[in-house]
A = this chain, B = another copy of it.
Amino acid sequence: MQVIEAFPPVENIANLQLNPDGGLRHLLTLKGLQKGLLIDLLDHAERFVAPPGRPAARSNSLAGRTVANLFFEPSTRTRASFDLAGKRLGADVLNLDVNTSSRKKGESILDTIYTLQAMQVDVMVVRDASAGVPAYIARHVDDHVSILNAGESDVSHPTQGLLDLLTIRQRKGRFENLVVAIVGDIAHSRVARSAAEGLDTLGVGELRLISPPMLAPDADDMPSAKLFDNLDEGLRDADVVMALRIQRERIGSLDGIPGIDEYFANYGISAERMRIAAPDAIIMHPGPMNRGIEIESALADSPASVITQQVANGVAVRMAVLERVCKSMDRR
């Protein structure tokens, strides 16, 4: 008699994200979003970037709107980033840490969503450990509600993808002829997937995915990318190097990598290793970093590092997405 929660794959998920007039309604994945729309989001986000030490960009464009941060997985950075993005646009922000309450009582995800919808929440920012949840929710909400994916299992983290694209564009000015190398636990990385999808659409020169063999993606997962298991080969002349967070528990199970030192020796990015990359290569990391494991601590704080710029761009990108879906709402 119990309702089984299943999250069936949604066909044509890119279309689900758009209004009939082509405006952004939900942000579930970067996959399939058209180049013009991505570029519009990046351009719009630039308006919310303020230099360090200057007042944060603000607007009152979401006054009267309600944004709910619905995090079924714990998060400090992404939650804080969405919280500030909503508040700096004048929205009322509701922070719900759902693992501690409703789900404990056995309420289904959809009932939580319907409840928030009935409370006239306009935008729901959803993080969940299960694949398919954001699209499943998006298919069930009313016309006047937008869903933003804030991290979905290993599958997708589209606002992270956008902030990575924005950071690369700011530093490199282009995507064509650019060599981007993503390094680490590709198999389990929603960050890598969203970056790859966005880079693909924007016409990146070459995308390389570097990982221990056991952490490589499936062959058809990111077909336009080149796979490497040798770090030096993958880094050669790269313009952009993105180190991924590795879960420490996973390290021991890797062939020939009994511990952290071996992982760092084989796949850790250091200043010395960066000499193989292009002379003006930048180093990125989605955070939180394991300094000394996937990235050398000094490199993370060096001029080549754009890691704090990524964080700053995260707020700007989320402000842009919030404004776009709310503007799109008005036209519905």
Contact = CB atoms under 8 A, between A and B. Distances in A.
| 8 A-B pairs with least C-beta separation | A107-B288, A1-B292, A118-B311, A53-B144, A56-B120, A76-B101, A118-B308, A76-B102
Nearest to A77: B115
Given A1-B292, A2-B291, A115-B308, 11 more contacts: A3-B291, A3-B297, A55-B120, A66-B84, A77-B102, A105-B288, A106-B248, A107-B288, A107-B289, A108-B291, A115-B311
A280 interface: no
Nearest to A86: B92
Interface in A45-104: 50, 52-53, 55-56, 58, 64, 66, 68, 74-77, 80-81, 83-84, 87-88, 92, 94, 96, 98, 100-102, 104
A81 B81 CA distance: 23
A312 interface: yes
A81 B260 contact: no
A74 B52 CA distance: 30
Interface residues of A, number: 65
Nearest to A296: B1
A88 B119 CA distance: 11
A315 interface: yes
Contacts of A76: 96, 98, 101-102, 112
Contacts of A315: 119-120
28 contacts: A1-B260, A1-B261, A1-B293, A2-B260, A50-B120, A55-B120, A56-B120, A74-B101, A74-B104, A76-B112, A80-B94, A80-B116, A84-B119, A102-B288, A105-B288, A107-B287, A108-B291, A111-B288, A111-B289, A114-B311, A118-B308, A118-B309, A118-B311, A118-B312, A119-B311, A119-B312, A119-B314, A120-B315
